[in-house]
Amino acid sequence: MLERIAPVGGPHASGAYAPAIRAGNLVFVSGQGPFDPSSGELAAEDIAGQVRRTLANVALVLEAVGAGLSDVVRVDAYLANIEDFADYDDTFREVFGERLPTRTTVEAGLGSILVEINAIAYIDDAT
C-alpha cells in the first residue's frame, strides 16, 4: 500500500508531485530546498545555511510518518556549484553525526538555490 505524505506545516510541493510517499517500510522524500516552510522565503544565502534548512525540511516531512534523519538510508544531493562541496559536506556531517546515510552528490543547474536534497528512509515497524 502506498501512502502519500503532505505534512501539515511542512514544506509544500510546488509542482505536480507528493512531498513524500511511504511504500511499506520505505519513505521516499521528494527533493527539498532551502525555503522556510512557514514563509516560503529563502532561509539563507550561504551553502551551510541552505544545507541546514534543506535537511530540516527533509526532517519535517519524515516527522509526518514518525521518522527522522536517523532513519535516512540514502540521500541524493544536487549542488548549484560543486566547488561548494567541502562546506556542504562539513554541514552534512554536522547534521547527520555518526549515522551517515549512503549518498550521491552532483552539480546541477538549480536557479536561485544552492542545494536540493531528496532522501529515502527506512522505518522499522517493530520499534
> For residue 17, is it within any domain?
yes
> For residue 110, is it within any domain?
yes
Q: What tens digit of pLDDT does each residue of 82-109 get?
A: 999 999 999 999 999 999 999 999 999 9
pTM (predicted TM-score) = 0.93
> For residue 127, is it within any domain?
no
Q: Where are the beta strands (DSSP E) in 38-82?
A: 72-79
Cα–Cα distance measured from residue 13 to residue 30, given in angstroms and rounded to the nearest whole number = 9
> For residue 13, is it within any domain?
yes
Residues 6 or more apart whose Cβ sits within 8 Å of residue 85: 79, 105
Q: What tens digit of pLDDT does each residue of 62-85 get?
A: 999 999 999 999 999 999 999 999
CATH number, position 21: 3.30.1330.40
pLDDT reported for residue 127: 47
Domain around 70 = 2-122
Number of domains in the chain: 1
